Chains A and B, each alone.
Chain A
């Protein structure tokens, strides 16, 4: 553990860079990265916020998360482009496959951030870091920052130093010089509120936080306080988790093209969504214990119901049966316009506690696997349940983009 070398690779203004590169590739003459520009959501759908900004836009004081309206006031000739998550996922995946050539131990922390265990590179790490940075720029067309240290936290802090297109190190002996002078809000896990609390007691830099008495911070901010105190001192030793990002729940939903007013059709929609939820859970090698169903009626009123199962499941059948039960318990006979099924309290399939009281059906599991395989290979509609024949209802419903998309997490 002592001699670990961890890289943290962070794409510079990810969405914006990817959008810019894609557009250049398609013949656009202006590089979005070189003009004040932002990637922003759709204002009509009330998603009108800044998702990513170019460095020239940053100079106007535009910050990520502010409304496009206020961004436009700061910079009247701002270029706003809509996001395209599929494209970004593709870009992110291409970076991951490039990184895979260097280390098998890679943790995707979010769509644009990756931790990589490079302990095996020994003294070569700096050379390799530059090589990776250059290759990404050359082959994939966007720039990254690479932070290097002995643990994930310090590596992440390092990649945030100076942008773009840089390699930084932050080894434990460099903490005092490189990390401690930074404002305390820069530390991972310290948000606006914690920063305020700390500032109120005269703590403005990471160094000041680090030098506090451990007992003092524990008495004051309890466990989270201890965590940030450890971070401020560069103490963090979690492994680079090779399994993908932590998924907390798997859910799919659909807004039906017409209002559903009978049980039979409602069941079919539930089944079609269960198929997708189950398939996704199996793909991620996860099972969930809580199934919840939520409905929205034609007056846009939403209500939901959930049930905790005795054993975790990822079987389409169990999810469907449970959703059906939940549906029957709550449906008030008003026409429905939207269905949602979510599977949560997820656990890995590696160890699974079977129930004494319920049958474990190995055959069904095999069947599910076989169906999944066929569907991944030949498309979702290659094998369908007969009840969907000529029904006009899609046999597998739900886009995978929304949640399969790696979002930022607070667990390092």
Chain B
């Protein structure tokens, strides 16, 4: 996996007591087109607070171009932004 840290648009499910769960997101691809990707499975969730900046890291799995891909998403708590972290 390569570090991308690309901001993405996200639809997430904010639960009562667990951390928000990413459901599907939209990304602008190389051809400047929107692509919607559904998060099929969250493999694990981790919280980091490097330099005091809290972020939730999700390792996820999705079917992209009929291939199962594993990648990581990041949610920055202070700014409420989602990123495609590693792909």
Q: Chain A interface (Cβ within 8 Å of chain B)?
A: 17-18, 21-22, 24-29, 87, 90-95, 139-142
Contacts and interface: CB of A to CB of B under 8 A. Distances in A.
Contacts, number: 48
5 contacts: A22-B53, A25-B51, A91-B51, A94-B52, A95-B52
Contacts of A17: 51
B73 interface: no
B58 to A, nearest CB: 15
A141 B51 CA distance: 6
A25 B3 contact: no
Contacts of A22: 50-51, 53
A24 B53 CA distance: 12
- 9 tightest A-B contacts by CB? A27-B5, A94-B52, A141-B50, A21-B51, A91-B52, A90-B52, A91-B51, A25-B50, A18-B51
Nearest to A86: B78
A87 B78 CA distance: 11
Interface in B71-87: 78, 83, 85
Contacts of B49: 94, 139-140
Nearest to B86: A27
Interface in B47-66: 48-53, 55
A269 B14 CA distance: 41
A375 B48 CA distance: 30
Contacts of A25: 48, 50-51, 53, 55
A28 to B, nearest CB: 8
A132 to B, nearest CB: 16
B4 interface: yes
A395 B48 CA distance: 37
A24 B86 CA distance: 13
Nearest to A28: B5
A24 B50 contact: yes
B53 A27 contact: no
Contacts of B52: 18, 87, 90-95, 140
Contacts of B53: 22, 25, 87, 90-91
A132 B5 CA distance: 30
A25 B78 CA distance: 14
A12 to B, nearest CB: 13
Nearest to B49: A94
Nearest to B85: A27
A21 B50 contact: yes
Given A27-B83, A87-B51, 4 more contacts: A25-B50, A26-B83, A91-B52, A140-B50
A309 B3 CA distance: 59
Contacts of B5: 26-28
Nearest to A25: B50
B3 A27 contact: yes
B52 to A, nearest CB: 3
Given A27-B83, A27-B85, A140 B51 contact: yes
Nearest to B48: A25
A18 B55 CA distance: 15
A126 to B, nearest CB: 26
Contacts of A95: 52
Contacts of B83: 26-27
A87 B51 CA distance: 8
A92 B51 CA distance: 8
A402 to B, nearest CB: 20
